[in-house]
Amino acid sequence: MKKLILRIARFPHFFIVLLVFPLLGFFIYARYFASQFFALLAGSILLIIVYLVYSYISLTNRQSLILLENGEYEERLNLLQAEISREKQANNALQGKITRYSLLKELTEKLCVSFSLADTSQVIAADVNAVYRQGEMTVIVYFLKGTLNELSLAASLRGQGPLNLKAKKGDLYDQWVVKNLKPLLVEDTRNDFRFDPEQIHNEDERMVRSLMSVPLTVGEKTIGVLRVDSSQEHHFSTEDLRFLNTVGSISAVALENAQLYSRVEDLAIRDSLTGLYLRRHLMERLTAEISRHLRSDEEMSFLMIDLDHFKKYNDRFGHTAGDIVLKTIAMILTDMFSQPGQIVCRYGGEEFCVLLPDCSKRKAGQLAEEVRKKIETQTIILRRERTHVTVSVGVAAFPRDTPTKEELVQKADSALYEAKASGRNQVVLAKEVK
């Protein structure tokens, strides 16, 4: 019966016609052949009307029930779709976390084999850039130097290449992080009441609309600041900041290890009293410079410097005063020979030496005379007494005077002793090989 009702609902006109034709036939029959058939015909019509009304009500109820069931199915479908969407979002978030922590693992492995501050800071900047590589962003690493909490630019990266920053010592955002030692998230620099955007623009002409920054700390010690910024507002989320803070914790330990390694390395190649390089490091650099000058056919010079009558000076004023003199001479030599490639070394005792790459013997002699005069005129106050010291200098050149490293040092040393034998406080050039 239900199937019949559904078919009537689907094809109503067909069943109406099918019903009308028999009734019309009954009416004609009753009109012309049997008038008493009208009563039967009226009763039949009445029954048909009752049945149709009943069928209509049943059909309406069935349609309402079907609509209700459809609504429930649609609601369930919407709930399932929402659940699927949440699962997809959770899956995407999980995939993002897996990717990020995989990059974090790679960063940790790279930092384990990075020992210099420069290499470590570049590795940090490159890997952080790989994590947040959506759009054009800038990654900056600052070191904290001195007792005044002054920042110094260590590495900056935008896209795949380095970036020349105007704010070498950081801006208001970086100073805020150093002062508060808290992570900073700025979603829109133009609408953040904590900072003045005009002052930021005057410090750095780059367009910065959003940023996040974390302090690099180990225990109670602050190493520096790690910052990521973008020219688009609302580019970073709290989840991004949370992950950057994790990266910062690992990076801070790596930077501290690099600083410690640098100090240990300096102790191995530098004199603890004067801060100058030791003889071992000088001989290593001398070998490399000789190889380079052989390829370039350029001349290289070497100075050997010795304090005159230093033993008598120590006997008169004491060894502490002698240390002060050595430090003063070291500062003068460091200031005088500060060009790239030039190396000042404490050769031993009161002897110093200077390596001058790409410098002719004649030019080296002139520089030696300048430094001799500067030391001679330098006043050193010891025990409230104004004192002066003098030096003797020997000059040799490669390859003019010798073709080997050992002979170059020996030639300069021989010229030095000739200067001492000739009365001290003078410069003597090594004799050229004929």
* Whether residues 286 and 415 fall in one domain: yes
* Whether residues 358 and 220 fall in one domain: no
Residue 394 pLDDT more than 60?
Answer: yes
Tally of domains in the chain? 3
Span 19-46, average pLDDT: 68
Does a structural domain hold residue 158? yes
* Whether residues 93 and 4 fall in one domain: yes
* Whether residues 121 and 265 fall in one domain: yes
Share of the chain above pLDDT 70, in %: 84
Last residue of a domain, one of 113, 129, 164: 113
Residue 12 pLDDT more than 60?
Answer: no
The distance of Cα 298 from the centroid of its chain, to the nearest Å, equals: 40
* Residues 158-199: tens digit of each pLDDT: 876 777 777 778 888 998 999 999 999 999 988 888 887 666
Residues 256, 289, 299, 350: which is the catalytic one? 350
Give the torsion sign (CA, 318, 324, 325, 327).
positive
Residue 202 pLDDT more than 70?
Answer: no
Higher pLDDT pick, 182 / 200? 182
pTM of the predicted model as reported, rounded to 2 decimal places:
0.54
- Supply the pLDDT for residue 307: 95
Residues facing residue 305 across a β-bridge: 352, 393
Q: Print the domain residue range for 182.
A: 117-269
Residue 399 · residue 418 · CB < 8 Å = no
* Whether residues 64 and 170 fall in one domain: no
Does a structural domain hold residue 61? yes
* Whether residues 263 and 171 fall in one domain: yes
Does a structural domain hold residue 9? yes
DSSP character at residue 420: H
**For 271-382, where are the E strands, in sequence order?**
300-307, 343-348, 351-356, 380-382
* Residues 220-237: tens digit of each pLDDT: 888 999 999 988 888 888
Helix (H, G, I), strand (E, B) or coil at 105: helix
* Whether residues 167 and 217 fall in one domain: yes
* Whether residues 284 and 408 fall in one domain: yes
Closest by CA to 204, choosing from 164, 160, 232, 144, is 164
Does a structural domain hold residue 434? no
* Whether residues 355 and 256 fall in one domain: no
* Residues 336-383: tens digit of each pLDDT: 999 888 999 999 889 999 999 999 999 999 999 999 999 999 998 887
- Supply the pLDDT for residue 269: 82
Residues facing residue 269 across a β-bridge: none
Residue 362: give its domain's CATH number. 3.30.70.270
Q: Distance of CA 416 to CAs 24, 315, 330, 384, 411, Å?
A: 143, 23, 18, 32, 9
Span 87-107, average pLDDT: 73
* Whether residues 124 and 109 fall in one domain: no
Residue 362 · residue 393 · CB < 8 Å = no
203 is catalytic: no
Last residue of a domain, one of 212, 243, 269: 269
Last residue of a domain, one of 269, 289, 324: 269
* Whether residues 421 and 366 fall in one domain: yes
Residues facing residue 431 across a β-bridge: none
Does a structural domain hold residue 215? yes
* Whether residues 362 and 309 fall in one domain: yes
From CA 183, how far away is CA 181, in angstroms rounded?
7
